[in-house]
Amino acid sequence: MSNSLAVRVRGLTKRYGGNAVVDGVDLDIPSGQIFALLGPNGAGKTTTVEILEGYRNRDDGEVSVLGADPQRAGRRWRYGIGIVLQEASDLSELTVTETVRHFARYYPDPRAADEVIATVGLAEKANARVGTLSGGQRRRLDVAVGIVGNPTLLFLDEPTTGFDPQARRQFWELIRSLSTEHGTTILLTTHYLEEAENLADRVAVLVKGKIVADSDPASLGGRAEAKAVISWLDNGERRSVESDDPGAVIAELTARYGGAVPGLSVTRPSLEDVYLDLIGSENA
């Protein structure tokens, strides 16, 4: 992963009718990183991302995306970004190959259509009409269209909405490969906490236009330092204690029971627990 920043934001602000829907946001996204932006509906995620994409002007702050200000950057800058919207239109009568080649024409140095189709796992559907694809296959085609221009930075808006669990995990593998094998920087918005935990190198939580937490998923909101809950069965009854040192508690229990501790489990707050606490406290 490069140490350079694909995205640098300082004091980003956007107002509507005097109301700041994005209120002093700071973000750093290193090149090659998968970054997840989380937050409840109305938090300002869409506005923030649209400003980074160059589709909406800001009222205040500094924004650099791939080394340029999206508000002033030209066509050459736009060639460096790919966008996969939550709901993308398609050319249903075209085949997968025809669709990818159609969009490739908009770029000066596109990737080969066959290569892109193979990358997203649609090689066997290359000659199928878009209208015959399943929902998951169409989403893969959306990604193919988003990366055919060989972007340095890819925006993914709720990419797995409506997917079944198996399709979602297959899609995660595709996103990981774009990052690890091609070095693509990815900015992901999602409502699925499991998705953010599995994919993202870093997560930021946006609430009422402000970033309330920003770290790797394991540390978000003090999660890594939170007390562990040690639970076990004692004469058929479930007992539990909280501790900063679960190893010491387990050693004590092992000695007490002379070996294996019945029904032993050790848990820490999940990403969902921490997320709900963050948005709950801000919305209270």
Query: What's the Cα-to-Cα distance from 53 to each of 39, 84, 89, 131, rounded to whole Å?
Result: 19, 11, 19, 29
State how far the Cα of 176 lies from the Cα of 200, in Å rounded to an integer: 9
pLDDT at 90: 62
The predicted-structure confidence for 111-165, as pLDDT tens digits, reads as follows: 999 999 998 889 999 999 999 998 888 888 988 999 999 999 999 988 887 778 8
State how far the Cα of 67 lies from the Cα of 8, in Å rounded to an integer: 9
The predicted-structure confidence for 42-63, as pLDDT tens digits, reads as follows: 999 999 999 999 999 999 999 9
Residue in 279, 175, 273 with CA at minimum distance from that of residue 228: 273
φ, ψ for residue 235 (rounded to 5)? 55, 40
The b/e string for 98-133 (b: 16+ C-beta within 10 A; e otherwise) is ebbbebbeeeeebbebeebbebbbbeebeeeebeeb
Residue in 99, 32, 52, 109 with CA at minimum distance from that of residue 76: 109
State how far the Cα of 106 lies from the Cα of 150, in Å rounded to an integer: 12
pLDDT at 88: 61
pLDDT at 223: 82
**Nearest-10 Cα torsion for 83, 89, 91, 97:** 30
Domain ranges in the chain are: 5-214, 222-283
pLDDT at 284: 41
Q: pTM for the complete prediction?
A: 0.83
Parts of the chain with a pLDDT under 50: 1-2, 284
First to last CA, the chain: 39
Tokens 């079944």 -> residue: 164
**What CATH class does 5-214 carry?**
alpha beta
pLDDT at 281: 55
